Amino acid sequence: MVLITDNFIGTIETSYTMKNDKSTKIKDLEKSQKDMTGKALTTNQGLKVNDTNNSLKSGERGSTLLEDFLLREKITNFDHERIPERIVHARGSAAHGYFELYESIEEYSKAGIFTDTKRKTPVFVRFSTVAGSKGSPDLARDVRGFAVKFYTQEGTWDLVGNNMPIFFIQDAMKFPDLIHAVKPEPNKEIPQAASAHDTFYDFVSLTTETLHNHIWAMSDRAIPRSLRMMEGFGIHTFRLINDKGEAHFVKFHWKPTLGVHSVTWEEAVKINGADSDFHRRDLWDAIEAGHYPEWELGVQIVPEEDEHKYEFDLLDPTKLIPEEMVPVKIIGKMTLNKNPENFFAETEQVAFLPGHIIPGIDFTNDPLLQGRLFSYRDTQLSRLGSPNFHQIPINRPVVDTHNNQRDAHMQMSIPKGQTAYFPNSLSGGCPHLSKMAEGAFHSYEERIDAKKIRTRSESFSDHFSQPALFYRSLADWEKEHVAAAYTFELGKCNHDHIKQRMLWLIAQIDDELAKTVANGLGMDIPKDIEHPINQAIGADADVNKHQPGKKKNYLDKSEALSMANTRFDSIATRQIAVLVADGFSMTNFQPIKDKLEKEGAMIKLIAPHGGTIKCDQGMEHKVDASIATTESVLFDAIYIPGGKKSIETLIENGKYIKFINETFKYCKAIAVDDEGEQVLNHSFVSKFKDDKAVHVNDSAANFVTSIAKHRNWDRREHSDKVPV
């Protein structure tokens, strides 16, 4: 078990205390933990049990007796073990950690976590996919949830975001429709964890506001290499409030220190078969190995007076603010350093609510955010079964709570006293109210002068400009992946009229993109299609009063939108497969091993069998995986040391050759030394040894540089031909 102690340097007796260097939240959770070591098995009433294998019967072969309270207790608990999975984001993985502030932003916010640089605020973070069920594979093409619970000294703040900076819809009223469209089709419950089906594209093609988030979902952002290598976004425009009560608009960004990296769609499909827990395992293993994932927190701040300065509406959650227009100011760092003790108790029972807010942060009128403020509390009632869900250990704040809310299912505390109302005199007016100066939350006083109306603002009607900006900002290889994703997804739809509507809409974003997709589908782009919304449901003057306008170009490209501009300076935690058999050259392997380990990579020996293998110096080495139990798509690069006997064995085994071909196909780095080159000669790589990420008898440093680049995309004109 990784000790938190190793990484803590704080000295503050606030959220983190120095005793054992554990956060106040971890210490709080420890109060609820149960250690079974050395303990006798008991019933829930503490009764020691002498047989948990046999029920109580009327005779050795007789029927089971109703009297058997041991059987009843055990089976009853089992019968009720499951709770409803989350309606969305059911598949998830989580970890504990802490947040530290680099510099105070007190001019904007009075929140303690944004003003006190000495604090280490405990956090619990849950990552998730959206559409799939709890047991669905990790590498689905999907948005990833990125939910952060800050256990602050002023109460709990939840920043419930995604790994993409925008959302599919503008108003919470449409959320059930969006989710019903993407989830498995209700008649046959197919497909699982996949958007590539008719109902989703029926909805998307009739709901043009979805197109921005949709094109992000068609990009590689939807198939991350690791949960540790994706960005996070609060999406909505929130408000920061300073101690003078002044407000600024803000958007929150999480930037991973390992950079933003993805796999290709073909790899994703294979990874789902080879290890459907790929992301969950990767997060767990990295933390256990002490490679703690980190994200820097950035804020984009917009003065209130600039609210109407932009070509888009700040309240529209389908729009991002390009970093060229408002730079991201980095203000702190989050580190995840501890895995949960129990998946159900922590990861499953954690309840995030966008309505969990603290003084110094406030909401805006974004209609999606406003609806979320209702939905999340409501859903916990059916998921966790009681308004007392805040008492579950993972959900309870690190500060005391006192109020007049009472009773309900599973009340775990014992409120004392005669009164449960306010005002009272019988309890001295307690629990009493606080003033703002004493830290009380006070909603931002916003001037409103409007009529009550069920409508959508015209300022929300630009649906094409930002998808087009996103597409223009991508590198060539990213654009190719987007086109391939549209072609794949629409190719899975059965209805031509849906595909035609989509092609017409893609053409509103980018002509070339639409042509490529149309070619792949073997269809033409419709020329003068009547507007899809009107065509499908008939025009209603009020509902459709603002039709989407033509795309505008207020910025040619935005650098931050392309993964080609991410960080490529580290190979830390990259998985390197070393293909070996008995007799491999230790002289070749040692310097590579030393260098890769020094850089933080994870080396895995892949041998023809499990157990151990011998190098040419007669030493035994533990095998990490036999070739039969693993696949190349689970690794970032491969290395093959020489050694005559080892190489002869590898050449004889077709799976090793497939391993090499696949690694080449997906543009990853390959290094071989001495006889290792002979294995390459049996593979597709034999013709491409001058490829810049294929290293034959090259230095370890050059190999490291290639791995850090993540992929050699220049290779793809050849690699596309590799038949695996």
Give min distance, CB of 158 to ligand HDD, in A.
Answer: 9
Give min distance, CB of 42 to ligand HDD, in A.
Answer: 33
Q: Does 145 bind ligand HDD (CB under 6 A)?
A: yes
- In the chain, the N- to C-terminal Cα span, in Å, equals 39
Q: Does 147 bind ligand HDD (CB under 6 A)?
A: yes
For ligand HDD, give the closer residue by CB, 364 or 588.
Answer: 364
**Which one of the listed residues 20, 54, 89, 342 is annotated catalytic?**
89
Give min distance, CB of 356 to ligand HDD, in A.
Answer: 11
Q: Using CB under 6 A, which of 96, 126, 212, 228 touches ligand HDD? A: 126
CA atoms of 416 and 150, how far apart (whole Å): 29
> What dihedral do alpha carbons 418, 423, 424, 429 form, nearest 10°?
100
DSSP string for 50-70: S-SSS--BSSTTSPBPTT-HH
DSSP class of 153:
B
Question: Is residue 239 marked as binding?
Answer: no
What track of x and - describes contact with ligand HDD for positions 63 through 92 (by CB under 6 A)?
-----------------------xxxx--x
Contact yes or no for 554/468 (Cβ under 8 A): no
**Region 685-724 residues binding ligand HDD, contact defined as CB under 6 A:** none
Question: Is residue 383 marked as binding?
Answer: yes
Q: Using CB under 6 A, which of 167, 363, 471, 656 touches ligand HDD? A: 167
What track of x and - describes contact with ligand HDD for positions 225 through 244 (by CB under 6 A)?
----------xx--------
DSSP string for 243-299: TTS-EEEEEEEEEETT---B--HHHHHHHHHH-TTHHHHHHHHHHHTT---EEEEEE
Contact yes or no for 576/596 (Cβ under 8 A): yes
For ligand HDD, give the closer residue by CB, 181 or 672.
Answer: 181
Binding window for ligand HDD (CB under 6 A); candidates: 154-162, 187-195, 510-518, 708-716:
154-162
For ligand HDD, give the closer residue by CB, 299 or 576.
Answer: 299
For ligand HDD, give the closer residue by CB, 460 or 703.
Answer: 460
Give min distance, CB of 145 to ligand HDD, in A.
Answer: 3
For ligand HDD, give the closer residue by CB, 249 or 684.
Answer: 249
Q: Which residue is nearest to ligand HDD (CB)?
A: 145
Question: Is residue 119 marked as binding?
Answer: no
Question: Is residue 376 marked as binding?
Answer: yes
Q: Does 183 bind ligand HDD (CB under 6 A)?
A: no
For ligand HDD, give the closer residue by CB, 87 or 196.
Answer: 87
Q: Is 404 a catalytic residue?
A: no
Q: Is the peptide bond before 397 cis (omega within 30 degrees of 0)?
A: no
Contact yes or no for 148/121 (Cβ under 8 A): no
Binding window for ligand HDD (CB under 6 A); candidates: 57-65, 207-215, 337-345, 374-382:
374-382
DSSP class of 345:
I
Helix (H) or strand (E) holding 85: none
* Nearest CA among 658, 634, 580 for reference residue 612: 580
Question: Is residue 86 marked as binding?
Answer: yes
CA atoms of 431 and 421, how far apart (whole Å): 9
Total residues interacting with ligand HDD, rule: CB under 6 A: 27
**Region 314-373 residues binding ligand HDD, contact defined as CB under 6 A:** 317, 350-352, 368, 371-372
Q: Is 162 a catalytic residue?
A: yes
**Which one of the listed residues 96, 162, 279, 390 is annotated catalytic?**
162
DSSP class of 672:
E
List own/partner pairs for 396-402 with CB under 8 A and 24 or more apart: 396/28, 397/151, 397/155, 397/156, 398/15, 398/24, 398/25, 398/28, 398/122, 398/151, 398/152, 398/153, 398/156, 399/153, 399/154, 399/155, 402/430, 402/431
Which residues 6+ apart lie within 8 Å of 659 measured at CB? 577, 579, 606, 627, 631, 632, 638
Q: Which residues of 594-633 are buried (b: 16+ CB within 10 A; e: fewer)?
A: ebbeebebbbbbbbbeeeebbbbeeeebebbbebeebbbb
The overall longest dimension of the chain from CA atoms, in Å, is 90
For ligand HDD, give the closer residue by CB, 384 or 581.
Answer: 384
Burial of 27 (0-12, 13-18, 19+ CB in 10 A): middle
Give min distance, CB of 350 to ligand HDD, in A.
Answer: 6
Q: Which residues are annotated as a binding site?
A: 86, 126, 175, 372, 376, 383
Q: Which residues are annotated as a binding site for heme?
A: 86, 126, 175, 372, 376, 383
Which residues lie near ligand HDD (CB under 6 A)?
86-89, 92, 126, 128, 145, 147, 160-162, 167, 172, 175, 235-236, 317, 350-352, 368, 371-372, 375-376, 379
- Give the active site residues: 89, 162
